[in-house]
Structures are given as C-alpha cells and as structure tokens.
Structure 1
Amino acid sequence: MRWSLLLITLLCQLVVADERAPLRVMTDLWPPFRMEDAQGNLTGLDIDVLDEIGRRSGLRFDIQRAPWARGLADLQQGRADLMIGLAKTPEREQYIEYLSSPYYACAPRFYTAAGAAQQVRSYADLQGKVIGYVNESVYFQPFDADHSLDKRGVNNEQQLLQMLLRGRLGVVIGTDCQVDFELLQPGYAGAIAKARYQPEARTELFIGFSKVRAQLQEQTLINTALRQMLAEGWIKRQAKRYQVQR
C-alpha cells in the first residue's frame, strides 16, 4: 500500500511537470550565441544551453526573437519569463532576478578600420571620434555613462561593422566573443582590427527572470542544472564548437 501511494505521488509530480507551460524566452541574434540557420531556426551557444537545461530539468522554453530593447521591455512588464545573455546593471536589477552565477564571460573591445587601430591607444583617444554601439547594451564604466563622447546607437553588431566599413563610424565597441566571431565571416578579413586600447573589464553573461512573474520553482530548477553544467565543463566544451574560448 505504501509503495502504491509513493508511486501515485511520483506519477502526479511527473504529470504536473509535463503540464507546466513553456517559459517564454526573449532574445535576439548575437552570433555565435544566438544565430539563425537557413530554415529560420535559432541556433548557437545560448540555444544549446537552454536545450541542455531543458533536458536536465524537464522545463520547456518558448524562444521568441525580438529586438533586444523590446525583449528587456517585455521582461520588465511581465510579458516574458526570462532572457539569456544578460549583462548585469543596477537599472536592470530593479526588474530582473538574475541567477546566482554567470554562465559565460566576454570582454568589451573597441574596433576600427584596419589602418586606424593605432589611433586609439587610450580612453582619451576616443574623444572626437564617432563611436558606434548597440542600443541597450552594457559595456563598461566610465564608457556607458560618458556623455562627452560622440556615441551613435544601432540595433545590432552587424550594422556597426557595416557602418565602420563604409566610414560612417570611426570606432565601434562590442564584446570580443561576438565581434571576433563576426570578423571570421567573408567580407571582413583584413578590413577591421581591434584598437590598441583594451579596457580592463569583463562582461559576465547571466540568465535572468522577470520579477513580475513568480517563477521560484523554475528558477531553482534552472539554477541547479546550470551549476551542474558549469561544474562539468559542459558549457566550455560546447563553446569550442563555435570558436568561442575563455
């Protein structure tokens, strides 16, 4: 009788887990973390991470692509459950519940046309140059809050690099994990280089939940799976598939 009750309890738990609605994830393209294949499917390291978390936790994810700023707005207003690839800021912490540990880290870097890399040897050399960045992105201080610089925001890194190639920007800033991967693509070889100046900063990447939605059980399941994956070196091994190494 006791074993029968235990079996019924376990089966009920499995049914509840199976009936749990998929978590709505907002994201945008950010190679090699989030890319789109020829069939329009999302691929990349972040998608692999979510798939593996789902396999280990039993959770399901409904991944929706939208501009990054719109995804943050959906998280803030409770229209979405979580985002992946988030940098942490005090402003975002007002409406995002971050998991305890980052799952990856990149570094902010400046890029110029190949022949101009030596022109940016220090932070002071950014003055007087038109600097491109991605809207709603976080890089480092004092750059993020520096209103004395001539900064132009665009929607994604691909736009930045194209504008740099056309001479519409003098410098662009991005995270090396993403921009270095982008520069491996045809059309960029030898045309764009890292600036001599490299800020001493890291951009840690987190999974974060909307504070508007109560998802404590889901957060615990994801946090447990993610910690296991980090301890096993799973993410580091997976990153090598995309030539992303740290």
Structure 2
Amino acid sequence: MMRRNRLLLIAVLYCSLPVAQAGGACPSVTRVGLSDLGYAAYREQGRIAGIAVEIANEMGRRTGCKFEFHWYPRQRLFIEMEAGHIDMTMGSVRTPERDAYARHLPYAYLQYDLVLAAAPSRQYHSLADFVEHGSGRLNVTRGVTYGAAVDAQLALLAAAGRLEVVNDYETVFGKLEMGRADGTLATPPIYSKYLKQSSLHRRAAVIPIAEATARFTGIYLSKKTMEEQVRQRYALTLKTMVADLYVHGIYTRYFDEAIVKRTFRQGQGPLLTALSAPED
C-alpha cells in the first residue's frame, strides 16, 4: 500500500510539473481577496499574512505569476469576486452560488466547532443539544457558510433571540472576551489564534458538534476575469503542492500534531481527485 501511494505521488508530480512551470502567459496581476480567518488569513502591523498567503505566494513562485493581496469583510469578498473586482479568493468553501462564477480548487479540509467563552455546566454533544438545553447567545460572522444542518440550528437560535451576526472574527472574539457574547462557531485555524491572544484561553471550551462535517476549503478562481488556460495552470500548480505535501507542511508550522491530523484525516486522495476533475 505504501509503495502504491508513493508511486501515485510520483506520477502526479511528473504529470503536473511541466504544466505548472511552463505554458501560457501569466496575467499582469492576479488580485487575491482575503478576509479574517485566524491563522488562515490575518492582518498584522499593516501586512496580510497566514496560511492562505503562504499558499498563494508559493503558487506565485512556482508559476512566476504576480499575486496582489486585497482585504475585505467575509461577506463582501464574494460580492467583489462576482463583480469582477478580484480574481481569486482563499480559504473558501464550495457552494453552488459561487460555482456559477468561479472554479473551486481545494487544498485542505475544515470543520466548525462550538466555542464557548466559559466551560458549560453540562456537556453538549451537538449544536442541537446547545440550542435545546442551553441559554447562551452565539455571535457568528456574516458571510460564512456552515452547511444546512448547522444553518437549521442557527435559525432556531435566531428565532429565540440568541444569535447575533457581526462582520468578522476579531469582533466575535472581542465580544466573547468582554462577556458580551457566550459563544461562536469557528474552525481550529480561527479559534487557535484568537484564544491564544486573549484571556479566553484560560476558560474557553471547544466542543465538536455532530452537525458540522469536514469539508473542503480552498481557492476560488474567477471565470469572469481569468482565462481558462490560467485557471488550469493554477489548478495543476496547486495539485502539485498538495501532492508533494507542501500545503500540509504549511499547516505543521502553525498547529500541533493533533490539529494537523484532524485537518487532513481524510487524506490527500480526495483533494487530488477534486483537483484533477475537469472544469464545469
């Protein structure tokens, strides 16, 4: 099995490398949209950094193309892409609405957890359990896609007056620290950063929820502003970066072994299959 996986990796690299390095002119610049996603994308001392930036920079290095980073609130990000003002987004979950104007390229997985500002008096096994038996208010970030099962529970919280939607995770975790909200939904890259930087790390509770399943996170490439040849070139470059474990290596620099294992527990196979699929 190990030998077969090694041969598959070599085959992927061999087939992808010539296209990633050659063929087709780069755009004058690829405008990359990012938003607050904890260690996945953040602003610090006037610069944009994080996992997504490292991935985009390596794509630029391997293709020789120029990438330019732009910061937006999460909800605004995809409005700007649909309007043709940016060419590429990072840390993006695939949805049918976004597929209409962009191509999705996955590079990792994400899964949301329930993050409470203080350890609860009872144990919750799901978001539905929290909705039914809890009394706390959640703050969530506008423009984030959670999936149908989670959305159904958030609708119940909203109807009960226990949900507030804000612009970004910085606001969410600031309110949690000040006691103006009781919890949120976030992925490990998001809450790892914000818990570490605040007093919340001494008292917060992170609870896996049954409604949240692991999903692809990745890049969206605009079908409006980017030629298909360029999209294909970027797809093959990212595929090589996933296959040679470069993306995996970025995650190991930010997180402990447990989080990295959880992030990639479905393995490289589904990611490579999705990256090999023809464009719709």
**What range describes the TM-score normalised by the shorter chain of this pair?**
0.7 to 0.9
Say whether residues 1:190 and 2:202 are aligned partners: yes
Once the 2 structures are TM-superposed, how far is the Cα of residue 171 of structure 1 from its aligned partner? 2.5
Match of 1:10 in 2: none
Say whether residues 1:47 and 2:53 are aligned partners: yes
Structure 1 segments of 4+ aligned residues over 6 angstroms from their partners: none
Once the 2 structures are TM-superposed, how far is the Cα of residue 196 of structure 1 from its aligned partner? 6.2
Say whether residues 1:116 and 2:124 are aligned partners: no
Where does the alignment leave 5 or more consecutive residues of structure 2 unmatched? 1-21, 264-280
Say whether residues 1:168 and 2:180 are aligned partners: yes
Deviations 1:33-79 (A, max 9, x none): 112233x1212111111111011112111111121222211111111
Between the aligned partners of 1:148 and 1:90, the Cα distance in structure 2 is 24
Identify which of 4, 17, 21 aligns with 2:25: 17
Between the aligned partners of 1:51 and 1:206, the Cα distance in structure 2 is 14
The structure where helix makes up a greater share of residues is 2
Between the aligned partners of 1:206 and 1:189, the Cα distance in structure 2 is 28
Equivalenced residues, count: 228
Identify which of 247, 255, 259 aligns with 1:235: 247
Between the aligned partners of 1:118 and 1:219, the Cα distance in structure 2 is 49
Residues 137-148 of structure 1 aligned to structure 2 (within 5 Å): 137-146=144-153, 147-148=155-156
Once the 2 structures are TM-superposed, how far is the Cα of residue 181 of structure 1 from its aligned partner? 3.0
Match of 1:105, SS?
strand
Match of 1:55, SS?
helix
Between the aligned partners of 1:141 and 1:117, the Cα distance in structure 2 is 28
Match of 2:125, SS?
coil
Partners of 1:23 and 1:81 within 8 A in 2? yes
Between the aligned partners of 2:198 and 2:187, the Cα distance in structure 1 is 20
Identify which of 47, 63, 71 aligns with 1:65: 71
Partners of 1:132 and 1:172 within 8 A in 2? yes
Deviations 1:52-108 (A, max 9, x none): 101111211111112122221111111111111111122222222213xx1011211
AA aligned to 2:51 is L
Given the superposition, is the C-alpha separation of residues 230 and 72 from structure 1 closer, same or farther in structure 2, using an over 3 Å criterion? same
Between the aligned partners of 1:141 and 1:155, the Cα distance in structure 2 is 21
Between the aligned partners of 2:136 and 2:194, the Cα distance in structure 1 is 23
Identity of aligned residues (%): 22
Larger Rg: 1
